Chain A
Amino acid sequence: MRLKYLLILGAGILLAGILLFFFLWPKGGDNVQLLTGPVQPLGEIGIEGESTIEWSVDLSLEQRLSPLARRVRPRIMLTWSAATASTFSVGLHELTTIAKEVRPRILVAWATFSTSVSPQVAESELIGETTGVDPRILFDAAATTAAPHLGGWTSLGAEASVVSPRILFGSAALSTLDLAFQTAPAELETFFSAPRVLLDASGLGSPVELEGPPELPEK
């Protein structure tokens, strides 16, 4: 008789445990959690100090954003904002005049002056083309410092930190109006100067779109 009650009791506990287990077990399905909301007090990172101020915020991603972002077409990204104003004034006179008319987004003209290497004279054909096309980026004889650095995104930062060129193009020649880029003189590769304009075209999934010179490496 005792054995019977013990067994029934045991079975009951087991059943209750199973039911409890299933009720409390978190449900699958909505496995993506969007964390939003106001600032929460944090205690995880320990801070000891009399006058410190803490501020915290949750990070979250609205999922509708990523599909939209994938529709953005390749472009040349300016790692450092364009030095438009500072180079504008030292550009070739005719080019400056043209630039004022066409309002190029970025104008790098005679920027290699700082490296004491004489740049090329602006090509008259380029100026002619510029007038009509309103280019987003216009390089005028400014590429002489960085043509070798066509490695694209991953190597760009490392190379820039070593070489510190005035202007660095990472596959960015794709955007130009077929200007011929010279190879950088060897002495420039050790020239110490913070980059003024840093360009990288790693986001260019389809170089064809920008009609780059054939010798440029394809991604």
Chain B
Amino acid sequence: MVRKVSRTVVLLAIGLATMLLYGPWNTKTREGASLSTSSPANGGNALGLVPPAFAQEVERSFLEEEAGISLYVNAGEEIDLSQAKALYKVLEDETESYLIGTVELSGYGEEWWPHVWIQKDGWIVVYYLKEEPTSRLMDWFAYERAGGGEINTTTLREVLLSVASNLKLDLTMIQRDMRYYHWQYPEAKKLLVVLDTTDAGSDTFKYTIPGSLKLYEVSGSHFGNVGCCVQWSQTTIDDEVFKKGGNEKYVLVGFLTGQAAAQGVQHEVVLKHKGGWMGIALFFLYS
């Protein structure tokens, strides 16, 4: 009897060994690449992600070469390029199938005007160049017009909707389907914006970026609307001046580097101003 049981155990062991040999540890993908086992970075998910097929090709697209943060949509209908052409402030290139150039962001100087690529078959990509911080997204003027509160729009969204509106596209669909993407950080999956404002002379908040996050970029957008003459506003992070502005109304953007982007430690942001009001918006790009 014991011998029979032993045989059963041996058979089970052989079966187990076979399964281990041909089991999921050596899974082949459709592309023929071998997948690795899970890593903590995948949050326990067993899949080791590999770049999609198009990203493995040698040739890079112009967006991968030059674009940073972007907002794109497929309008779901053909776009009349001759009509779209009139929307450009500067047209950098024009073919039968697409247009590229810069489109004005109403109320802002030209350094704020994003590039817009419009494809005849319905694609619209609005983007800032890769040298620009993601915090260029913060539309303080729209925020101010809305009377503060929640963030309801971004600079790229305003331009996309303006283009779509002028082209008489379905705005409901555009707003539903539009997506953000950063062309220099294809693995970045999340964008978090933390905003604080004050008209009381000073305010403060703290942030902590866990060490477990894969952090790609931290940038900030400082806004001041402090009035005339001897007024000012300033944002400091961990006692270092991030941005400081003088009179009137302005938006100052930049990257947070060094200590201000250090993970696993708490950072303190201090807002101070004289006159009017000010705000700071921090943009965290991570996965």
Contact = CB atoms under 8 A, between A and B. Distances in A.
Contact of A31 (B29, B89, B123, B149): B29
B131 interface: yes
A120 interface: no
Interface in A15-74: 15, 18, 22, 25-26, 28-29, 31-33, 35-36, 42, 44-74
A67 B57 CA distance: 10
Nearest to B30: A29
Contacts of A76: 92
Q: Which of B19, B28, B48, B192 has the most CB of A within 10 A?
A: B192
Given A63-B52, A106-B90, A72 B117 contact: yes
Contacts of B151: 53, 55
A8 B12 contact: no
Contacts of A8: 5, 8
Contacts of A75: 62, 92-93, 100
Interface stretch (A81-89, A122-130, A177-185): A81-89
A60 B181 contact: yes
B64 to A, nearest CB: 7
Contacts of B192: 42, 44-45, 54-56
Contact of A48 (B5, B193, B205): B205
Nearest to A106: B90
Contacts of A164: none
B195 A59 contact: no
Given A79-B129, A105-B91, A52 B66 contact: no
A203 B61 CA distance: 9
A77 B90 CA distance: 11
A208 interface: no
A46 B208 contact: yes
A157 B68 CA distance: 15
Nearest to B50: A31
Contacts of A42: 190, 192
Interface string A94-133: 0000000000011000000000000000000000000000
Contact of A69 (B1, B29, B47, B64): B64
B24 A28 contact: yes
Interface stretch (B196-204, B220-228, B245-253): B196-204
A162 interface: no
A189 B28 CA distance: 56
Contacts of A49: 196, 203-206
Contacts of A72: 61-62, 93, 98, 100, 117
Contacts of A81: 89-90, 102, 110-111, 113
B102 A78 contact: yes
A54 to B, nearest CB: 6
Interface in B240-287: 266, 284-286
A65 to B, nearest CB: 6
Contact of B54 (A15, A46, A63, A84): A63
Q: Which of A45, A46, A75, A157 has the most CB of B within 10 A?
A: A45
A31 to B, nearest CB: 6
27 contacts: A3-B2, A4-B2, A7-B5, A14-B12, A22-B19, A22-B23, A28-B47, A31-B29, A42-B192, A44-B190, A44-B286, A45-B208, A49-B203, A49-B204, A55-B193, A57-B180, A65-B63, A68-B123, A69-B63, A69-B125, A70-B60, A74-B62, A76-B92, A83-B110, A105-B90, A136-B92, A153-B65
Interface of A: 3-4, 7-8, 10-11, 14-15, 18, 22, 25-26, 28-29, 31-33, 35-36, 42, 44-84, 105-106, 136, 153, 157, 202-203
Interface of B: 1-2, 5-6, 8-9, 12, 16, 19, 23-24, 27-30, 35, 45-50, 52, 54-55, 59-66, 72, 74, 89-93, 95, 97-98, 100-102, 110-111, 113, 115, 117, 119, 123, 125, 129, 131, 149-151, 179-182, 186, 188-198, 203-210, 213, 266, 284-286
